[in-house]
Structure formats: structure tokens, C-alpha cells
Chain A
């Protein structure tokens, strides 16, 4: 029964998306009709409910898969539909369940093309949920590549001035990334006999010592496949220096698309990296952990330095994201239980924080019609919002506090676990990390000061409207969950820890 809940969680948004095409435009003021609007929201919420029920009913201290559903799909090529939830992906399920209904709610006042964007968000929800729950390499790949399409269309159709370039760049980078992943997939599949894609069967160092030949020289399967996995995912989550497309997206995409990318796709990509590489190539991971942590440190520092120079809210967010990806990589590369658990927890908190940041940035740019808060000569373009719209200021404050890791919010728990876990392994890296966080305090609070406290710039911002009831309804869950995660993280951490320990035990 519980297994069906996972499939339901993946299938419901798909049905919602199909409904968007079929339902008649009835009710409401705009051309799409309120029936489709509610159908989208309800199908997303229903899927989320399944997710929350699943995670809530999980037992602590159990390292194995707690719920799963399996059947053969293409039996002759050992491709199966195999979805399951354990401690490692439970938090990601939670993240997707929380963020997507909010995104759909945030989009539901759009005037034109509402059906389209809702359908795309629903497809994205389903595909990311599938990618998180899948336990078969082929299935992971299937859902993960499917998730690149909705983003492309959302940017291309509803984006800003330079949407064409941004969309095409996104498509090309993700095509390259997917090609690498595909190469890794085939390599793994054919290097093992009997051929299989199942992560459960491939686990436990089955690939150790396997080699293949190209032009008389011999390569180790696990090293090459690890590199392909790493590179393939690096094209889909922003890793310096291949982050150009990501900042393009930040500049051009509609807020909901960027949130879907930065707050959900990025953590999911990190999760896939951990799940596949830790399970498949424990030896290679042990050798390459330092490199992963180094890449993380470079990302963290570069993200921080670039963020200082930003004048736009979403661009700032993009570089915050880039830096945070670095932090997660440091935790993943530490190979210590606190570091890995911290990374997974931080992935959830980061997603919620970025989602909140992206949504309030969208609201601000919607009301003021501006995307930058300082113009080119450093003059303030958006300012003094706090006095007119205190609610937005509070929400933004909570998001920033959580992104910065101030005690009492989710970010603190994740970040401190991550740093504590990594310090014993890479002290220098953590030192750099600390510096980057100081930098983050500077630029995030600098932005907050300008936008919320400073002087109001023009008459237009003097009638700046505070959050409407609808906006409150979709921002409050984010604030509440960030505070709850900061005050009582134990339940979720105890879910993750046993699974992380089991995974790590195969590496050492």
C-alpha cells in the first residue's frame, strides 16, 4: 500500500499536467479559468500530501529502504521501475513536497499562459520526484533528463528580454550533461555480468577492478564512470566555472522557474551524485573525496566573491546558490557522518531558503517593475520597503537568516553539522568556508539594508503593497518549516544518520 503512495506521488502531478490541456476554461476572470487553476494546485498538493505522509510515517534508526515499489519495465534489458524511500532521499521528498505547491500557488495570478506554466511546473514536480525516489540507474536518468525540458520552455516562453539565449544555453548545457550521464550509464551497464541497472544489485563494490579498453590502453570502469557522473551532473547544477548558463537563467527566467531550478533541481542533483557515486564506486569516492571538497571550496569562495558585486536580487541569489553548492560539496567530500548528514540536511534547508528568497524577490520585482536594487553608478533603485511592507521584510529576514546560518533557523543546524564534520578532514577548506560565510553576511545584509531599510526611492515605491492574503498563504509554510527545522531537527537527522552511516561504512 505504502509503495503505491510513492507511485501516486509521481503520477498525480502528471495527471494534473494532462488535465491542464483538457479542462475547459470555466470560471474566474482570466482566459484560463479558475477550474484549471484549482486542478493544478490540488493535484500538486495531493502529491505533496502523499510525500509528507510517507516521510512522516518513516521509522527512525532504520538504515534500509522503508517503502518501495518495484516491477519490471523492459525486462530483457534489466530495466525496472524501482522506486523507494530511505533516509537519504526522505528529506528531498519533503523539499519537493513543500516547494512545488507553493510555486504553483505563486504563479496562479499570472495573466497569460497560466495553463502552460502550471502544466510545466507539474511535469517538473513529477520528474524530480521520480528522480529522487528511483533506485534504478535508467529510471533516475529518465526522470532527471525529463526535468530539463520544462525549465527550457519556462525560460523560453515566459522569460525576460534575453530569454532566447538563456533558454538555448540551458538546453545545450543540459544536453551535454545528459550525454555524459548516459555514457556513464552504458559503461556501467555493460561492464557487469549479468547486465543490470539496479542500484541495489550494483551496490557493494561490484564494479571494483573492472576495466575496459580503448585503442590499446586500459581504463578502470569505476574511475571513468565516476568522472562522467561528476561532469554530467556539474552541467546541471552550477559548478564554477561552468555556471554561465545558471546566471543567465537567473537574469532571464520567471521567478518560479528559477526557484524550481535553484531550490529543487540543484539539491536533487547533489543527492543523485551522493546516491550513485557512494553506492557504485566506493573506492573511487575514497580517492576522489579531496578533489570533491576542493571543488566545493573553490565554488564557495568564487560564489561569495561574485555575489559581492551583484546588483540584482536574482543574480545575488544565483551566486548564493553557487556558493552553497560548494558548501554541500565540502560536506559530501568529508566522508564523515556529520559532514554527509549535514550536507543532506543543508540541501533541504537551502532549498527552502532559496525558494523563499526567490519568491520574495519575484514579488518585489513584480511590484516595483525593477530587477536591480542598485543601478550602475551605485545609486539605490529599490529601497525603504520595510516601512511600507513590514510582512515582506520579516519573510525576507527569515530567509536571509536561514541562508546565513543564524541560530534558531534551519540553516544553522545544517551548516554547523557540515562544518564540524569536515573540520577534522579538511581544516583549511573549512577555514576558507568560514571566510566565505563572513563575506555572505556582508553582502546579504548589505542587500537587506538597501532594499528594506534605506530611503524610499520614488513615489512609486511609496504605495508599495504589503503581502496579500494569498501571498501570505504560500510564504508562511516556508517560514514555519525553516523555524521548525531550526528548533527541532532531531527527527529528520535521525532519519538520515543511519542510512548515511551504512553508506559510509562501505567506503572505509
Chain B
């Protein structure tokens, strides 16, 4: 019975999904609003339940296959919030037809269910399956703009590379299983401790699995399709995918790499492994170096390519890629402050990216183009939207006085603390380059401000309220960095070695 209570958020999401589908099939009245409301209510319910369980404590449920701990609940709440914001954003855009919104809600809720499970799965096969579930749903979401060839192309690329990455994942998992004879990550950890894996095998397994995860992060060697996917999908979907599937990847990777390929460092005679503040790599090779390489390359490639883009959506997609590089820093330092900084940065990205993409979606609706050269004088047509776009983006890239900077500072700091000076230098350079990229975008909005005349885009107060509702927490995250960092540090706990 306790297992069911701890899994209430998932069960609730599943019921909501069933309700949406049943409503879509069986009810012919005014179903659009009803279904949107159902979806939002279901998400809100699941959020409240997750919060209640977060306060309750950690546990392994269902034969140790799912780990309901602070970390997975943090991610669960993150995904639920993201899904809610996405569904609300879909009301404001013309890209999602209002008579198709029921399907959209169903897909988003299904994806959220999968992402939530990915965050808590402690069994690799289950993890693989939910990851596939999530990816299949996201192929459908990417193809949602059926009339647009870009959208179809995005979905196709996503599908092809996604299948390739899942093959890599499975192959790595098979090798790991052959050695450890178990699929549970905590058991794998114990087996690897008592019976170390040969270095070469370990290296191959690590590289295969890490490449598969890199596809989820949109990180360096596997980044090729991700900007295309984000550019081609309808804008609401871009914001959902840029956070959802990427962060789900991080949620799984954190648990998987830290549990399987690392062990806790116990200081001062402490005996409780779950109280460890930092971890050290096992398996006979320093896999952090591979991650560091990917991290540095991802950041620099992402930022440099962002600088060269001529489309707003694609520019933001490359900025997202650079951000993945920063997040990898939090993974490779293997200590609690790094993970806490990663989670903190994720919170900032949640609001910043959803906001930025929703303004870009608004611009796309109004001028049917996101070329930087077509955006001229947008600022004078609609000041609040454009100013908030600029603010969202500077928060994202961590321009110093804005909240994103504190996240970047802690990430870079924790990397320096471990002596990765070159990586830190790459991070600082990336910040400068991405600022320049954002300046280009900001600039094309500001340009021709004086000669735009009196022509104004239609005002719509609910959208402005929505943007304010995103901007306000974003700025507050900066002011209340201290309690939030404490909260994320508290969430960065893993249990049961």
C-alpha cells in the first residue's frame, strides 16, 4: 500500500491521461476548454502530491525498481511545472490549432509521465523503456506542425538519431549486464565494488552509454540534430523538448553515473554512505575527463554557432546546447555542490526558456518569420514582449547581474575547486560569446526603433500576465539564491548504496 502512495503522482498523471483520451474520444461538446482544464487540474494535483511526498522522505518502491527520493521528486515537480506552463503557453499561440489542443494535452501529459518515471527509475531496463516512451511521444510532438516541412524534417531527424542513440544505450547496457548480472543500479554498484570491471570494458560501456545520454542532452558528439529539432518543431513544442527530454536525460544520467560509476568519499570516519558530500570515480579510469571534454566542446560549439545564426529560434537552440555543456560541469565534479548548482541552473532555465520560446512564438505568429533581419523594430511594436524576451535570454546565458549568473558562478566555481582550470576558462569564454549572441538578437529587436511609426501589434493582456508570471519567479530566483541553493542541495541526495 505504501508503494502505491509513494507513486501517487504517477498514478494521478496516468488517470489524467486516461481522462483526456476518454474525453477526446467520447465527448463531443465543448471539449477543448474542458480537456485543457482537466489536464491542468491533473498536473496541479500531481504537483501537490509530489510536494507532499517530498516532505515525507526517501524510499525504494516496487522491488527496488523505483527510487522515490528528494532528487527524483525535484525532477518530478520540475516536469509537472514544465508541462503546465507548456499547456498554458499553447493557448496563446496559433501554431497549436485550438481544435487539436486535446491531442496536444494528451501528448504532453504522456510525456510528463514518462519523464517523471525516468527521473526515479533505479532499474536500467525500466529506465531504457521510459526513455523510449518519452522519445516516441516527442517524435509525435515534433511532427505536430503537420503542414510545415521543417516540422516533419525535425521529427524525422529526431526519430533516426533517437533510434541510433537507443541502440548505443542498449549495447552498453548489455555489456554492463553481462558483467554484473543485474539491472538494478544499486546492485550493480555493489557488484562493481566487489568485482571490478576490466578497464577497457568499462571504458567501452561508459562511452556507449554516455553517447546515448549526450543525444538526450544535445551535447557535443551527438548534437547534430538537436538544433534542427528545436527549430523545426512548433515553438511550444520546442520549449517543451528543450527542457523536457534534455532534463530527463540529466535526471537519469545523474543517478546512473553517480551510482554505478562512482563511490562515496567518506570523510572523518563517517559511516553512512548516503551522507557523503562527494564521490570518486570507480572502474579504473577517470571518466570525468571524457565528460569534461564533451562539456567544453558542447559549450564552445554551441556558443560559437549561436553567434552565427540568422534565425531567432535556431539561435536559442544553440544557446540551449551551450547550456547543456554548463550542466555537464555539475555532473563531472561529483560533489553535492555541483549537483545542487546543476539543479539551480535548471530552475532558471525552466522559466527562461519557456518564456523566451513563448515570446518567439508570439513573434512568429505576428510576422511569420523569425529571421533576425525580419525582427527589426519589433521592440517599438510591442515593448513588454520584446523586453521580456531580452530579459529571459540574458538570464539564460548568465549575464552577470542576472540570476543565471549565480548558477554559472557556482558551476564554474565547483569545477575550479576540482582543478579543471581549462574547462572553467572555456566556461567563461562561452559566457562572453553567448552574451554577444544574445546581444545580436536583442539588437535586431531594438533596431530601427525610431522609424517604426505608430503601427502596434495587438495587445493581449493574458499573454502579458503569463510573461510576468514567468519573469517574476525568474528574477526572484536571483534574490533568494541562498534558500534555493540550500533547497537544491537538499534535493541532491541519493539513498541506499
With known contacts A142-B400, A164-B443, A186-B409, A179–B431 Cβ distance under 8 A? yes
Asked if B33 CB lies within 8 Å of chain A CBs, one says no
* B 445-477 to A, binary, CB cutoff 8 A, 1 in contact else 0: 011011000000000000000000000000000
Chain B residues whose CB sits within 8 angstroms of the CB of A186 once the complex forms:
409, 412-413, 416, 424, 428
Q: Are A73 and B482 in contact (CB under 8 A)?
A: yes
A172-197, CB under 8 A of B: which get 1 and which 0? 10011011001100110110000000
Of A74, A112, A113, A215, which is within 8 A of B481 by CB? A74
Contacts of A142 in B (CB 8 A): 400-401
Which residues of chain A from 133 to 175 have any CB-CB distance to chain B below 8 Å in the complex? 141-143, 145-146, 149, 152-153, 156-158, 164, 167-168, 171-172, 175
Shortest A202–chain B CB gap in Å is 16
Chain A residues within an 8 Å CB radius of B412: 186
A172 and B446 contacting across the interface, CB-CB below 8 Å: no
**A156, B425: Cβ atoms closer than 8 Å:** no
Cβ-defined contact, B421 with A214, below 8 A:
yes
A391 to B436, CA, bound (A): 44
Q: Which of A76, A143, A164, A175 contacts B435 (CB 8 A)?
A: A175
Residues of B contacting A164 with CB < 8 Å? 443, 447
Question: Do B439 and A183 touch across chains, with their CB atoms under 8 A apart?
Answer: no
Question: Measured between alpha carbons, how far is A141 from B402 in the docked complex, in Å?
Answer: 12
Q: Is B52 an interface residue (CB 8 A)?
A: no
Over the window 398-438 of chain B, the binary record of Cβ atoms lying under 8 Å from chain A Cβ atoms (1 yes, 0 no) is: 01110000100110110011010110110011011101100
> How many angstroms from the CA of A143 to the CA of B435 in the assembled complex?
17
Beta-carbon contact of B439 and A168 below 8 Å: yes
Out of A112, A127, A168, A176, name the residue touching B443 (CB < 8 Å).
Answer: A168
Q: Flag whether A453 is at the interface (Cβ < 8 A).
A: no
Q: How far is the CA of A240 from the CA of B280 in the complex (A)?
A: 48
Tell me if B485 counts as interface (CB < 8 A to partner A).
yes
Contact across chains for B439 and A172 when beta carbons are under 8 A apart: yes
B432 pairs with A146, CB closer than 8 A: no
Q: Is the CB of B432 within 8 A of A178?
A: yes
User: What residues of A have a CB within 8 angstroms of the CB of B449 in the complex?
Assistant: 113, 156-157
Do residues B428 and A179 form an inter-chain contact, with CB atoms below 8 A?
Answer: yes
**Residue contact B401 to A182, C-beta cutoff 8 Å:** no
B400's partner among A77, A113, A146, A172 (CB-CB below 8 A) is A146
| Chain B residue contacts of A213, Cβ below 8 A | 419, 421
Instruction: Tell whether, in the assembled complex, residue A76 and residue B485 are in contact, meaning their CB atoms are under 8 Å apart.
Output: yes
Kindly list chain A residues whose C-beta atoms are within 8 Å of the C-beta of B446.
153, 156-157
CB of A378 within 8 A of chain B?
no
Q: How many A-B residue pairs have CB under 8 A?
A: 90
- A38 interface contact, C-beta 8 A: no
Q: With a CB–CB cut-off of 8 A, which chain A residues contact B246? A: none
**Chain B residues, CB < 8 A from A77:** 409-410, 413, 485
Complex: A76 Cα to B486 Cα, angstroms = 8
B255 part of interface (Cβ distance < 8 Å): no
Complex CA–CA separation, A175 to B405 (angstroms): 13
Nearest B residue to A187 via CB reads: B416
CA distance A215 to B423 in the complex (A): 12
Q: Do residues B400 and A145 form an inter-chain contact, with CB atoms below 8 A?
A: yes
B314 at the interface (CB under 8 A from A): no
Considering only CB atoms and an 8 Å cut-off, how many residues of chain B contact the other chain? 33
Q: Is the CB of A189 within 8 A of B413?
A: yes
Cβ-defined partner of A176 (8 Å) among B400, B422, B432: B432
A170 vs chain B, min Cβ distance (A): 9
Are B417 and A190 in contact, CB atoms less than 8 angstroms apart? yes
A147 to chain B, nearest CB (A): 9
Which chain B positions have C-beta within 8 A of A168?
Answer: 436, 439-440, 443
Q: Is the CB of B450 within 8 A of A112?
A: yes
Cβ of A442 within 8 Å of any chain B Cβ, yes or no, is no
A241 adjacent to chain B (CB < 8 Å): no
Interface flags, A279-314, vs B, CB<8A=1, else 0 = 000000000000000000000000000000000000
Enumerate chain A residues within 8 angstroms of B399, measured Cβ to Cβ.
145, 149
Considering only residues 198-213 of chain A, those with a C-beta below 8 Å from chain B are 212-213
A76 to B400, CA, bound (A): 19
Roughly how many angstroms separate A73 CA and B440 CA in the complex, as a whole number? Answer: 32
* Contact B485–A179 (Cβ < 8 Å): no
Residues of chain B within 8 A (CB-CB) of A187 are 416
- Bound: A139/B421 CA distance, A: 23
Interface string of A107-149 (1 = CB under 8 A from B): 0000011000000000000010000000000000111011001
**Cα distance A171–B425 in the bound complex, in angstroms:** 20
Q: Are B450 and A141 in contact (CB-based, < 8 A)?
A: no
Q: Which residues of A contact B413 (CB under 8 A)?
A: 77, 186, 189-190
| Interfacial residues of chain B within 374-418, with CB under 8 A of chain A in the complex | 399-401, 406, 409-410, 412-413, 416-417
Which residues B60-114 have CB closer than 8 A to chain A? none
The closest CB in chain B to the CB of A179 belongs to B432
- Determine whether the beta carbon of A141 is less than 8 Å from that of B481: no
C-alpha spacing A145/B428, complex, angstroms:
14
Shortest Cβ distance from B482 into A: residue = A74
> Which residues on the A side are within 8 Å of B433 (C-beta)?
175
B443, A167: Cβ atoms under 8 Å?
Answer: yes
Q: Please, how many angstroms separate the alpha-carbon atoms of A266 and B486 in the complex?
A: 38
Find chain A residues with CB under 8 A from B425 CB. Answer: 183
Residue contact A175 to B436, C-beta cutoff 8 Å: yes
Is there an interface contact between B422 and A214, defined as CB atoms closer than 8 Å? yes
The complex places the Cα of A73 from the Cα of B479 at a distance, in Å, of 8
Which residues of A are found within 8 Å of B486, using beta-carbon distances?
A: 76
Q: How many Å lie between the Cα of A141 and that of B401 in the bound state?
A: 8
Q: Which of B422, B439, B482 sits near A75, CB closer than 8 Å?
A: B482
Indicate whether A171 sits within 8 Å of B436 (C-beta atoms), given known contacts A76-B482, A77-B410, A213-B419: yes
Task: Collect the chain A residues with CB atoms within 8 Å of residue B424's CB.
Answer: 183, 186
Q: Return the contact of B485 from the options A74, A156, A176, A189 (Cβ within 8 A).
A: A74
Whether A156 contacts B482 in the complex (CB less than 8 A), given A171-B439, A175-B432, comes out as no
B408 and chain A: residue at smallest CB distance = A182
Q: What mask results when residues 62 to 96 of chain A are scored 1 for a CB within 8 Å of chain B, else 0?
A: 00000000001111110000000000000000000
Report chain A residues within 8 Å CB of B450: 112-113, 157-158
Shortest CB-to-CB span from A474 to chain B, Å, is 25
**Min C-beta distance of B264 to chain A, whole Å:** 21
For B432, list chain A residues within 8 Å (CB): 175-176, 178-179
> B440 to A178, Cβ gap below 8 A?
no
* Nearest chain B CB to A22 CB, angstrom units: 12
Q: In the complex the two chains form, what is the Cα distance from A145 to B432 in whole Å? A: 12
Q: How does the 8 Å CB contact mask read for B175-219 relative to A, with 1 for contact and 0 for none?
A: 000000000000000000000000000000000000000000000
Kindly supply a per-residue 1/0 record for chain B positions 7-27, scoring 1 wherever the CB is within 8 Å of any chain A CB and 0 otherwise.
Answer: 000000000000000000000
- Given A113-B449, A168-B443, A190-B416: A143 and B410 interface contact (C-beta under 8 Å): no
Minimum C-beta distance from A215 to chain B (A): 8
Task: Let me know if A156 and B400 touch, CB within 8 A.
Answer: no
Please indicate the chain B residues that have their CB under 8 angstroms from the CB of A76 in the complex: 482, 485-486
**Can you list 10 pairs linking A and B with CB atoms under 8 Å apart?**
A77-B485, A152-B439, A156-B446, A164-B443, A167-B443, A175-B436, A178-B435, A179-B431, A189-B413, A214-B421
List residues of chain A with CB under 8 Å of any chain B CB: 72-77, 112-113, 127, 141-143, 145-146, 149, 152-153, 156-158, 164, 167-168, 171-172, 175-176, 178-179, 182-183, 186-187, 189-190, 212-215
8 further contact pairs, Cβ within 8 A, besides A171-B439, A175-B439? A76-B485, A113-B449, A157-B450, A158-B450, A168-B439, A186-B412, A190-B413, A215-B422
